[in-house]
Structure formats: C-alpha cells, structure tokens
Structure 1
Amino acid sequence: MALRYLALGDSYTIGEDVPAQARWPMQLVESLRRRGAAIDDPLIVAVTGWTTDELSAGMDQAVLAAEYDLVTLLIGVNNQYRGRSDEDYREQFRALLLRAIALSGHRPHRVVVVSIPDWGVTPFGHASGRDLKQIAHELDHFNAIAREEASHAGAPFVNITGISREHAGLVASDGLHPSGAQYALWTRAVEPVIVEAVAQA
C-alpha cells in the first residue's frame, strides 16, 4: 500500500513561483520513488503568506485523512515578517506539531520539522530596506524554538536555513522564493531523515 504524505506549510511548501513538480515535497516524492518507495503524491496544505494560526485554520478547512504515514511541517516565516512574538510562535507551533503527530498516527518520528529559510539574503530582502542582520537573528530564534519543540515531541528536525543562505542566488523569478534548484538541495537534506523515519514502524 502506498505511503500517504501530508505537507504542511506556507509559500515554501506550496512552491510559490515554481512549477508544481519543482516544489520540494514533489521533488521528495519523486526521489523516494526512484529509491523504490511506493508513495502517493503529497497532500499539500499550504498557502503563500500563512502564519501558524492561519495554517491551523487552513487545516480545519482541509479534507484530511485520519492518518498519514509521513507529515512535514515548515511554518513561521510570515510570523517573523509580520513581527509576531516568539511566545505566540512557540504556542501555535507546538499546537500544530501536536496536531501533525496525531495525524501521523501518534508516531512523532514520522513528523519531520523543516527549518525556516532566511528570506533576508534574497534580492527581495536586500531591496526591502529592512535590517538583514535582525531578520537573520529573528529567524534563527524562531528556528531554535521549532527545534526545541520538535526535540521535546520526539520529531526529527532538518535545518535548511544554511542552504538558503549559502545559495541565496537560487531564487525564483520573484526574487524572493527559492528556485527548483534550491528546493532540490533542500530535498537532498530532508530525504535521509525521511528514509530513516519511514523505515521505523
């Protein structure tokens, strides 16, 4: 029976400004299939601009199965962009993570948390007039919260923020979101963790 995969997030998960096949959840599925895995196309619950609370509301509206074999969660950039507090982020992220774990059949090792990339390094970021060091600092802080919450819950955490900084030129035509080539690098980082996760019951 094919694995069922739920991808939760925002513009980085839906793949703003790239073709559907270039989204990293789609690239991940294709790569897993090349390894011989039977896995369905991902159900993506993600909209550009979503914050943690908006993702939660979006999940309320989505038609979700009772259980998934794999869940990925990448959320928080819009909390930072809009100046939301870290206390709100922690509380709402924790609730999302617990919800994702429930949807994984209460198998936290099947829920993979992916870090927030650094939008400040992009051409859009440089043109924004905002303090790029402050953006990086705030995103690092949000990512530390996500890592802590994932560790506490027993969910794996994959840091792709460094990739976003090292490959800042690999962006889509909007000058902000990653290109398919950058998403391929994310996929390469996430895939070994996914393979290990699904190997466990």
Structure 2
Amino acid sequence: MRLLLYLSFLLLGVGCGSGGSDPAPAALPTTPSGPAPAAIRFLSLGDSYTIGQRVPTAARWGVQLAHLAPGLQTPDIIAQTGWTTAELQQAIRLANPPASYELVSLMIGVNNQFRGLPLATYRTEFRDLLYTSIRLAGNRPGRVFVLSIPDWGRSPYAQRYDQARISQQIDQFNAVAQQESQQAGVAFLDITDLTRTADPTQFAPDGLHYSGSQMRQWASRALPVVQALLQ
C-alpha cells in the first residue's frame, strides 16, 4: 500500500519531462541463479523537499535514489509542503505505517525555522521523530538516515528576507539535527553545502524549491551512505 500524502501548497505557508528511451539491447542467454532478492522497502518522511515541490515525481530525490541503489523500492512517502516537525509526527500517527521498513529517511525542519519556532522545541520534536523513524525501521537505528535542511536563504525567493540570518538559523537547526542523530545512532547526511552554490539551475520554477538536477546531487551523496546501511 502506497503512503503518499501531500497537497499542492507552496513551502513555508507562502508558496516557503521525460525524454526518449534508449533502444533495448539484444537479449542474452541467462543462467538461473535462484530466486531474486527481496525488494528493499523504503519510507521517506519530510516536507516539500521530500515530495519535490514543483518537480515531476520522478525527480524527487528519494525516487532518484531508488533508481541508483539496486533493489531499493521507490519510496513510500509521508510528506507535505509546509509541514513542521509536529505536523509530520501527527501525519505519521494518522497514516499508521507498518514498522517493517528496511530503510527510513527523515528530512524536516525548514518550516520550523521559517515560522520562527523555538530551536528547543525543534530539538524535542526532532528527537521524537528520530525514534519514530527507528521504530518504523524495525527498531534498527542503523537503517535510518537524516538529510540536513537545505539553505533556502540562497534562493531567489529569499532576496526579500535577511538571507544571512536565514543561513545562520539553518546552521543552528542542522547542528541540533546532527547532534540528536548521533546520539540516537542514526546516520546524518549533510547536503546543505550543495544548496549554497550560485548555480541558478538548482531551483525549481518558483525560485524557492529545488530542481531535479539539485536533488540528483542529494541522491548521489546519499547513495554510499545507504549502501553502507544496507550491508
């Protein structure tokens, strides 16, 4: 059963293609090698960065990761644009997913920062989400990984805000996420630096969310981490 929850709202409560296929190769004789390995069930938790606001489904970073990692299923997703840590936790409770995933990702916090919610509250709620993620991974912290919060302060949309202050606060939220992840024995993946470049192609058409090419970089950086977790 797919767990795909999202609405087409813009991030932060404000609005914060397919090409042709290659010709099929000629079929080669194969030797039976026993049953195929079981697919690896993957649950991805978060907000607009997880659902890939303003990009096609295939461009979501989790979907791209599944294409890179052999045996990894396209993720079930519990995410919605604009969600804070508290809203994500409530949605997980309502969805009541099975605690049998082989891999769980968590990427949340930008809307806490945007709404000016206390960092101490984020710490408490993020810690709760970590342990929820661990439970959904069969009580295996070694099957959970966290992605850092991108720096939307470098986006064209953020030019109307204090961009230096946004970046500073994003660093503070990420420091909390990294500390809590380490204490829980969960892998922490820093992708924030990838969002601090001057490349205009990293943004979706709304000038706030990220493009498929930017999220491909997140998936590529996540790949060796995921491969190590699944060994």
Q: Same fold (TM over 0.5)?
A: yes
| Residue 196 (structure 1) aligned with residue 228 (structure 2) | yes
State the one-letter code of the partner of 1:104: A
| Residue 145 (structure 1) aligned with residue 176 (structure 2) | yes
| Residue 8 (structure 1) aligned with residue 45 (structure 2) | yes
| Residue 72 (structure 1) aligned with residue 142 (structure 2) | no
1:135 to 166, 176, 181: 166
Structure number having the greater helix percentage: 1
After the TM superposition, list the runs of 4 or more consecutive aligned residues in structure 1 that deviate by more than 6 angstroms. Answer: none
TM-score, structure 1 as length reference: 0.94
Query: Aligned pair in 2 of structure 1 residues 142, 168: CA closer, same or farther (>3 Å)?
Result: farther
Distance, in Å, in 2 between the alignment partners of 1:62 and 1:165 is 34
Over aligned residues, Cα RMSD in angstroms?
0.9
Per-residue deviation, 1:39: 2.4
Distance, in Å, in 2 between the alignment partners of 1:66 and 1:131 is 41
8 Å Cα contact 1:121/1:168 also seen in 2: no
Query: Aligned pair in 2 of structure 1 residues 167, 45: CA closer, same or farther (>3 Å)?
Result: farther
- Report the identity percentage: 46
1:31 match = 68
SS at match of 1:2: coil
Distance, in Å, in 2 between the alignment partners of 1:167 and 1:71 is 31
CA offsets per residue over residues 115-145 of structure 1, 9 Å max, x none? 000001011111xx22111101111000000
TM-score, structure 2 as length reference: 0.82
Aligned residues: 193
1:40 to 73, 98, 115: 73
SS at match of 2:196: helix
Distance, in Å, in 2 between the alignment partners of 1:62 and 1:180 is 27
SS at match of 1:174: coil
SS at match of 2:227: helix
Gaps of 5+ in 1: none
Gaps of 5+ in 2: 1-37
Per-residue deviation, 1:21: 0.2
SS at match of 2:145: strand
Query: Aligned pair in 2 of structure 1 residues 95, 171: CA closer, same or farther (>3 Å)?
Result: same
